[in-house]
Amino acid sequence: MDTNRLSKKIEAILNRQVTKEAEAAQIYLSYGCWADGEGYGGVANFLFRHANEERNHMMKVMRYIMDRGGSVKIEAIKAPPSNPKNLQDCFEKTFKHEVDNSNSIYEIVNLANEEKDWATYNFAQWFVKEQIEEEKLVMDLLDKLKIAGGPKASNESLFNLDKELAEMPDEVPLAREATEDNPE
Ligand code: OFO
């Protein structure tokens, strides 16, 4: 008896999301290492924490596929892109990455809607909400950098911004509650 409650297409798009979340974690790790090397320890800390959140998202999608009787396929992930040129570039690329990810979530929602797979539709809503928060988080970083002087920010304002990021909560309560062991 086939107990897989996911269609082939839904299973495939969810597996694609597993890979995307793993890639996102690698990107944040790589930008975090770059930031640390540039002396921005606070930014690095923020990016490393975010890499963990992306891993939690990956686990959450994996768990859902398995709970619905589907099969998870762990795929190779792409190498992260080259290092950012500066902090502005880093935050802009991060923002673009989050918007790309939102679009990928919307594709899951659209397909679930098309197939009337309401369980997957409902599951994906958590990510829709999460992406609103994640995009906002990066928009706030860009705003803070703008206030600090944007590309012309002085070393002193960058130092203060870096300090602020080290202590800044992730401001994503749902993601913060999730852990790799318990990605609910
Ligand atoms: Fe940055 O978000 Fe995962 O889904």
* CA–CA separation, 173 and 34 (whole Å): 26
Q: Is the CB of 23 under 6 A from ligand 1?
A: no
Q: Is the CB of 101 under 6 A from ligand 1?
A: yes
The model's pTM: 0.89
Q: Is the CB of 68 under 6 A from ligand 1?
A: no
Q: Is the CB of 28 under 6 A from ligand 1?
A: no
Domain residue spans in the chain?
A: 8-167
Atom of ligand 1 nearest to the CA of 57: 3
Q: Is the CB of 98 under 6 A from ligand 1?
A: yes
Tell me the C-alpha to C-alpha distance, in Å, between residue 32 and each of 91, 124, 135, 136.
Answer: 11, 28, 18, 19
**Confidence at 44, pLDDT banded by 50, 70, 90:** very high
Expressed in angstroms, the distance from the first to the final Cα of the chain is 29
> Cα 19–77–134 angle (5° rounding)?
50
By alpha-carbon position, which residue is closest to atom 1 of ligand 1? 98
Q: For 8-167, which CATH superfamily applies? A: Ferritin, core subunit, four-helix bundle (1.20.1260.10)
pLDDT digits (tens, 9 = 90+) for 98-112: 999 999 999 999 999
> How many Cα neighbours within 13 Å face the side chain of 77?
18
pLDDT digits (tens, 9 = 90+) for 53-68: 999 999 999 999 999 9
Ligand 1 center to 155 CA (angstroms): 31
